[in-house]
Amino acid sequence: MKYALFLGCTIPIRGQNYEMSAREVAKKIDIEFVDLVDFSCCGFPVKSTNAETSLIIAARNIAIAAKKGEKICTLCNACTSVLTEANKELSENKEIREKVNKELGKIGLEFKPGVEIKHFSRILYEDIGIDKISKKIERDLGKLNMSIHYGCHYLRPSELYDCFDDAENPSTVENLVAVTGAAVIDYKNRLECCGGAILGVEEDIALSMAKQKLDNITANKVDALVTICPFCSIMYEDNQRKIESKFNVEYNLPVLYYPQVLGLALGIDQKKLGFRLNKIKANALLEKAGVEI
């Protein structure tokens, strides 16, 4: 199974532990990642300013993958959403496709339908499968309790993702965490948004949104929050100290990327999974799981 790995903006600069762990996990379960150096931003950051520009940038990335005959694996939920939406829109609507291709023609590219785009977690669930993953588990994480934050664009709009998971009551990532042996702890309003997209617009509102979720998650005894999107992770991990001092609360909640969790269960060295880059240190959790620090 081979995919072009789409990193987007945030992961290669601010979420290297996500990238490192995803690459390590892929190796272990026979997914080959190809790096296409011309992949840029997905287009999401300019969508609010001009949806057409966003569509052209997304189409440009898809066209680059098509030229090499590759499928696309994304790690960020926003990239997944913008690329999938563009892929669908341009495949189904000839008028928009011609308009976008006129712009792409100026840079020597052309959008053609037929490129598969999937989030890494969805590939693990749908194409690798829980059974196959369970056969490769080398370390039982049974002593750990984890809560999951899906992130909006992994699930919604549900029509965009062919309803591969139930957007109202999803279970794909629960199953992916459960296969490691870790207990999945449900919490109030688990599907609510992290607020990341409006952090630059009104920080107070965005941080309050993240705080509400951190309150709900830590109402239970959990060892970590598991995320599958770098922006959600920025809200819960990078901004956790800020939220703690702003609202006079204390969480000290490690936030892990899913491939870091799976990587531990697959027996991969935690150093290779980038644990030292986690800003809220996960040492207690690693010790509990019997991992050498």
Partner 1 sequence: MIDSKDLDPNFKYEVAAEIGGANINRCFACGTCTVGCPVREIDEKYNPRKIIRMVLLGMRERVLKSDFIWLCSTCYTCYDHCPQDVQLTSIMTALKNIAAREGYIHPSFKEQARLVSKFGRLYEVEDFDNKKREKFGLPPIKKNFDDITKITKDTLPKEVLQ
Binding region for partner 1 (CB under 8 A): 7-10, 12-14, 16, 19-20, 23, 35, 37-38, 40-41, 45-53, 55-57, 60, 103, 106-107, 152-153, 156-158, 167, 192-193, 195-198, 200-202, 205-206, 208-209, 212, 272, 274, 277
CB atoms within 10 A of CB 201: 10
Token pair of 175 as six digits: 């199953």
Closest contact distance (angstroms) between CB of 209 and partner 1 is: 6
DSSP tally for the chain: helices H, then strands E: 14, 8
The nearer residue to partner 1, 5 or 144, going by C-beta atoms, is: 5
Closest contact distance (angstroms) between CB of 106 and partner 1 is: 7
Closest contact distance (angstroms) between CB of 88 and partner 1 is: 13
Closest contact distance (angstroms) between CB of 157 and partner 1 is: 5
User: Furthest-apart CA pair in the chain: how many Å?
Assistant: 58
Closest contact distance (angstroms) between CB of 51 and partner 1 is: 4
Cβ–Cβ < 8 Å for 59, 104: yes
What interhelical angle do 77-92 and 94-105 show, nearest 10? 110
Which residues lie below 8 Å from residue 57, measured CB to CB, with a gap of 6+? 40, 41, 42, 43, 46
CB atoms within 10 A of CB 238: 16
The nearer residue to partner 1, 55 or 141, going by C-beta atoms, is: 55
The nearer residue to partner 1, 249 or 284, going by C-beta atoms, is: 249
The nearer residue to partner 1, 145 or 208, going by C-beta atoms, is: 208
